[in-house]
Amino acid sequence: MLRQLGAGAKLLAGGQSLVPLLKLRFASPEHLVDLNFVSGTSFIQENGGTLRVGPMTRHAEIENSSLARTIPMLRDCAAGIADVQIRNRGTIGGSLAEADPSGDWANALLTLETTIHCMGPNGRRAIALNDFVKDAYTTALAHEELVSEVEVKVPPRGSGGAYLAFKRSAPVYPSASVAVQLTMTGDVCQHVAIGLGCVGLTAIRATDAEAQLWGKELNEKTIAAASEAARAAGDPQPDMRGSAEYKRQLIAALVRRAIGIAARRARGEQVEGAHLYA
Ligand SMILES: Cc1cc2nc3c(=O)[nH]c(=O)nc-3n(C[C@H](O)[C@H](O)[C@H](O)COP(=O)(O)OP(=O)(O)OC[C@H]3O[C@@H](n4cnc5c(N)ncnc54)[C@H](O)[C@@H]3O)c2cc1C
């Protein structure tokens, strides 16, 4: 249908980004191709150490899925997106395709091994998330292509992750967000990925912060070093949510807190990780 209808057509998923744009007249597509009528596009499956999530899977379905809980960060992320009405409509595929710089999914999934499966009239292709998000509101998708599946590798035993966002209230995007994924052997960090949101045009990996933890014992000193390195990462812009310095402070505090939760989860503890509201 996208090919038939041409450039004036747009896909509609949960409508939680697109409909506000239509209402404000920032977008005026000639046609909407409604994915809500396409069966078999909402699912969460585990298969050989990989979680497969359908593009039309709602944030609320992920929040409440026992399978998704095998990767605790997924629940952290889904459960804190906006409010319950938006979580009941908004989809993971729509969120990734929208590539909003403040969106939660891209940041959380950046710290996991995530592949975006796409399909269109010319066939299918698989794109690593890192290559899928190109810029603010820009992805590798061609006009006639859609996200057909989100594939996430389940981290190995001894791993733990946490996703924390700081928000002024529930139905707004975060002021800053942090994702931390660790694999531990005893107290030593064997693998670490740290993602930062709202400090640039896309979510970014805080590689200098990660370097403070790789192959090292997790203790107050190494966690403080990682949090300081994260503070310096990215390029937060001042806006109604706070000054650049305020956002750097938030990032440093969230990284410290998320490392603590991720490490406890890696040790097998059940820890609730919730977004923080001002
Ligand atoms: C008040 C409010 C607060 C919000 N707060 C947050 C928040 O805190 N964190 C957060 O992450 N998000 C937030 N959102 C956004 C919400 O998560 C959306 O659900 C999400 O960004 C878009 O998903 P959707 O399914 O609604 O997509 P839609 O709005 O239907 O579509 C968004 C875009 O993606 C395209 N698209 C949709 N599905 C596909 C597909 N399968 N393949 C290719 N292209 C596709 C559409 O054509 C459109 O361009 C908020 C939204 C609102 C209205």
Q: Which residue has the tokens 């041409």?
A: 6
- For β-strands 31-34 and 9-12, DSSP reports them as parallel
Determine the distance separating the centroid of ligand 1 and the alpha carbon of 20, expressed in angstroms: 10
Determine the distance separating the centroid of ligand 1 and the alpha carbon of 103, expressed in angstroms: 8
What is the DSSP secondary structure assignment for residue 80, as one 8-state letter?
T
Q: For residue 73, give the H/E element and its range.
A: helix 72-79
Helix-strand-coil percent breakdown of the chain, rounded to 5? 35, 30, 35
- DSSP for 81-96 reads SS-HHHHHH-BHHHHH
Pocket of ligand 1 (CB under 6 A): 10-18, 20, 35, 55, 81-82, 86, 90-91, 93-95, 97-98, 100, 103-105, 141, 146-147, 171, 173-174
Minimum-distance ligand 1 atom for the alpha carbon of 147: 42
Q: For residue 210, give the H/E element and its range.
A: helix 207-211
Minimum-distance ligand 1 atom for the alpha carbon of 93: 41
Determine the distance separating the centroid of ligand 1 and the alpha carbon of 99, expressed in angstroms: 9
Beta carbons of 54 and 247 less than 8 angstroms apart: no
Ligand 1 atom 49: residue of nearest CA: 98
Minimum-distance ligand 1 atom for the alpha carbon of 41: 41
Rounded distance between C-alpha atoms, residue 62 and residue 64, angstroms: 5
Determine the distance separating the centroid of ligand 1 and the alpha carbon of 12, expressed in angstroms: 9
pLDDT of residue 276: 84
Beta carbons of 167 and 277 less than 8 angstroms apart: yes
Half-sphere exposure of 101 (CA within 13 A, CB side): 13
Beta carbons of 265 and 163 less than 8 angstroms apart: no
pTM of the predicted protein model: 0.96
Mean pLDDT by 10 residues, the chain (278 residues): 94 98 95 96 96 98 96 96 96 98 97 98 97 98 97 97 94 95 96 97 98 97 98 94 96 97 96 81
pLDDT of residue 177: 97
pLDDT of residue 272: 86
Q: Can you list the positions of beta strands (E) in the chain? A: 9-12, 31-34, 44-47, 50-53, 114-120, 123-128, 133-135, 138-139, 146-153, 159-167, 176-185, 188-197, 204-205, 276-277
Q: Which two tokens stand for residue 155?
A: 């981290």
Spatial CB neighbours of 10, under 8 Å, sequence gap ≥ 6: 18, 27, 29, 31, 32, 33
CA distances from 109 to 19, 116, 128, 227 (A): 25, 10, 10, 20
